[in-house]
């Protein structure tokens, strides 16, 4: 980033100024007390000249050694520590999302008020021993992040994975992180155009899991490029730790970039914050087969009491960006291979089969203000419609974002309207939702 050199130089200047100030103060005190030999004023001037010559004219004093090894601090890139021998690197980041929301029924009566720290996370990234051995750790501390999962385990750990990265083209990893399935889930919640992800992703999107991960990348910014990603994981989601039934989850994803890759990892950021100078596009597809899943959403949801089933999830993504304009479409769904009957346990927990379509578009004005529209629709299969109490669920959202420092510091406001078709008589639901959020991250 263009500010990194400026930040480091500013750190040098500040530290040099503080050092000179301390030097002046100590020598002035010694002169007043009469503890300097000979002429105190002459001695002080000589020492100052020597200090400047050593420290600011290419010398390598202890002070300059410290200045040159200060941590690199950059908004959006965290605080990076690296020793002189380059034996390791650690970048510390944090971020928080403070959110306020109101929901209303069809008569515009207030039904609930939501005020919370939606997300509060601490992240550590870097390498150890060699730049080829990379690690990533992320912890969540808000009530939203630490909610106890159905088997009783805590949900504090979000990412804990180590990668072997022999080259930028490919890598393999072992640990817990996001399944590379659909775009909306792989996008960080800090890089969204709206206060939160869509209803389609909430139901059908993938999640984190523990296992083995691999990735291969081909091509650059100005030519055809592709990425192939895959994983073999436990299949029960983050922090589940162990399963009483056999069966794993297998995921594969292929991404195509006909006009070259997005700049600044634009495929992982909603909106055209970078401002692509030429048209950039991504077409992607993915599939997850979860063998003997014990949760209603595969890697998420309630536990099926005394039951397990095969769950297949499919994903298709499209992204287009050009000069502040962005368009995204996500199509995803879930089925239960081998049976057309609804999977429902004795407690009423069931597997939601069906599909969903999410479409959103936006434009960024003057690199500061963004207006975005999103329409999300879910289509449950006929077998599960009696359990979800609708044949179609549509949510339309208008969002406005003020970017201060990209996605690292922004203010967001969005308004949504919910509509469900063929709802049983007497069953009500929230129609309107208004949310305000501040995102801050280092």
The 3-state DSSP class for residue 204 equals helix
Within 205-265, residue ranges assigned H as helices are: none
Question: What's the rounded mean pLDDT across residues 41-68?
Answer: 50
Contacts of 195 (CB under 8 A, 6+ apart): 99, 101, 399, 412, 414, 435, 436, 437
Using only the alpha carbons of the chain, give its radius of gyration: 27
Contact 230, 206 (CB under 8 A): no
Phi-psi domain of 183 (left: phi exceeds 0; alpha: psi -120 through 50; beta: other): alpha
Question: What's the rounded mean pLDDT across residues 400-411?
Answer: 95
Higher per-residue pLDDT: 56 or 175: 175
Of 265, 264, 269, the C-alpha closest to 403 is 269
pLDDT for 62: 56
Confidence of residue 24 (pLDDT cuts 50, 70, 90): very low
pLDDT for 46: 58
pLDDT for 391: 96
The 3-state DSSP class for residue 190 equals helix
- Identify the residue whose tokens are 């200045």: 67
Question: What's the rounded mean pLDDT across residues 378-406?
Answer: 96
Residue 308 has pLDDT above 70, yes or no: yes
Of 192, 199, 196, the C-alpha closest to 377 is 199
pLDDT for 245: 86
Question: What's the rounded mean pLDDT across residues 371-376?
Answer: 98
Q: What angle do CA 383, 384, 389 make, to 5 degrees?
A: 125
Please tell me the least confidently modeled range out of 28-32, 156-160, 220-224, 360-364: 28-32
Higher per-residue pLDDT: 225 or 37: 225
Query: Token pair of 50, please?
Result: 């020597």
How far the first Cα of the chain sits from its last, in Å, is 14
Residue 33 has pLDDT above 50, yes or no: no
Question: What's the rounded mean pLDDT across residues 246-265?
Answer: 96
pLDDT for 72: 66
Question: What's the rounded mean pLDDT across residues 395-404?
Answer: 97
Confidence of residue 314 (pLDDT cuts 50, 70, 90): very high
Q: pTM here?
A: 0.82
Predicted confidence (pLDDT) per residue in 170-180, tens digit: 999 999 999 99
Residue 260 has pLDDT above 80, yes or no: yes
Residue 13 has pLDDT above 50, yes or no: no
Predicted confidence (pLDDT) per residue in 188-206, tens digit: 999 999 999 999 999 999 9
- Identify the residue whose tokens are 């992040």: 145
Contact 88, 128 (CB under 8 A): yes
Distance (Å, rounded) from C-alpha 423 to C-alpha 121?
38
Distance (Å, rounded) from C-alpha 120 to C-alpha 141?
5
Predicted confidence (pLDDT) per residue in 238-248, tens digit: 999 888 888 99
Distance (Å, rounded) from C-alpha 9 to C-alpha 68?
10
Please state the separation of Cα 145 from the chain's center in Å: 13
- Dihedral sign of CA atoms 238, 240, 241, 244 in order: negative
pLDDT for 39: 56
Distance (Å, rounded) from C-alpha 226 to C-alpha 231?
17
How many CA atoms does the CB half-sphere of 235 hold within 13 Å?
26
Question: What's the rounded mean pLDDT across residues 243-265?
Answer: 94
Phi-psi domain of 47 (left: phi exceeds 0; alpha: psi -120 through 50; beta: other): alpha
- Dihedral sign of CA atoms 220, 80, 77, 10 in order: negative
The 3-state DSSP class for residue 343 equals coil
pLDDT for 73: 66
pLDDT for 29: 46
Mean pLDDT score across all residues of the chain = 87
Q: Is 151 exposed, middle or buried (0-12, 13-18, 19+ CB in 10 A)?
A: middle
Q: Which long-range contacts (CB under 8 A, 24 or more apart) does 41-46 make?
A: none
Contacts of 342 (CB under 8 A, 6+ apart): 350, 351, 353, 383, 384, 387
pLDDT for 11: 47
């Amino acid at each position: 980033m263009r500010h990194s050199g400026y930040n480091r130089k500013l750190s040098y200047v500040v530290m040099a100024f503080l050092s000179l100030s301390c030097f002046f103060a100590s020598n002035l005190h010694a002169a007043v007390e009469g503890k300097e030999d000979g002429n105190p004023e002459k001695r002080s001037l000589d020492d100052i000249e020597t200090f400047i010559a050593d420290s600011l004219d290419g010398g390598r004093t202890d002070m300059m050694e410290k200045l040159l090894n200060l941590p690199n601090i950059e908004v959006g890139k965290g605080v990076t520590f690296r020793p002189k021998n380059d034996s390791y690197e650690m970048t510390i980041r944090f971020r928080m999302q403070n959110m306020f929301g109101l929901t209303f029924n069809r008569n515009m009566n207030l039904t609930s008020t939501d005020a919370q720290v939606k997300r509060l996370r601490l992240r550590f990234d870097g390498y150890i021993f060699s730049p080829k051995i990379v690690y990533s750790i992320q912890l969540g501390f808000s009530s939203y992040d630490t909610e106890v999962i159905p088997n009783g385990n805590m949900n504090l750990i979000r990412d804990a994975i180590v990668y072997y990265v022999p080259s930028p083209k490919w890598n393999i990893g072992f640990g817990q992180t996001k399944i590379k399935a659909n775009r909306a889930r792989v996008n960080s919640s800090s890089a969204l155009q709206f206060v939160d992800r869509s209803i389609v992703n909430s139901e059908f999107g993938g999640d984190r899991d523990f296992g083995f991960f691999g990735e291969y990348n081909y091509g650059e910014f100005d030519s055809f490029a592709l990425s192939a990603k895959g994983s073999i994981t436990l299949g029960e989601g983050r922090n589940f730790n162990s399963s009483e039934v056999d069966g794993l989850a297998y995921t594969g994803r292929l991404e195509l970039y006909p006009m070259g890759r997005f700049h600044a990892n634009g495929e992982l950021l909603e909106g055209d914050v970078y401002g692509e100078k030429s048209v950039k596009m991504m077409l992607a597809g993915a599939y997850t087969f979860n063998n003997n899943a014990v949760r209603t959403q595969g890697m998420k949801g309630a536990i099926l009491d005394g039951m397990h089933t095969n769950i297949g999830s499919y994903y298709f993504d499209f992204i287009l960006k050009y000069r502040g304009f962005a368009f995204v479409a996500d199509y995803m769904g879930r089925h239960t291979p081998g049976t057309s009957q609804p999977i429902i346990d004795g407690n009423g927990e069931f597997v939601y089969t069906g599909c969903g379509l999410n479409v959103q578009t936006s434009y960024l004005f003057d690199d500061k203000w963004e207006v975005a529209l999103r329409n999300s629709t879910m289509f449950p299969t006929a077998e599960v419609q009696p359990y979800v109490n609708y044949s179609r669920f549509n949510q339309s959202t208008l969002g406005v974002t003020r970017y201060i420092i990209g996605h690292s510091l922004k203010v967001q406001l969005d308004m949504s309207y919910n509509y469900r078709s063929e709802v049983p008589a007497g069953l009500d639901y929230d129609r309107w939702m208004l949310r305000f959020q501040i995102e801050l991250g280092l």
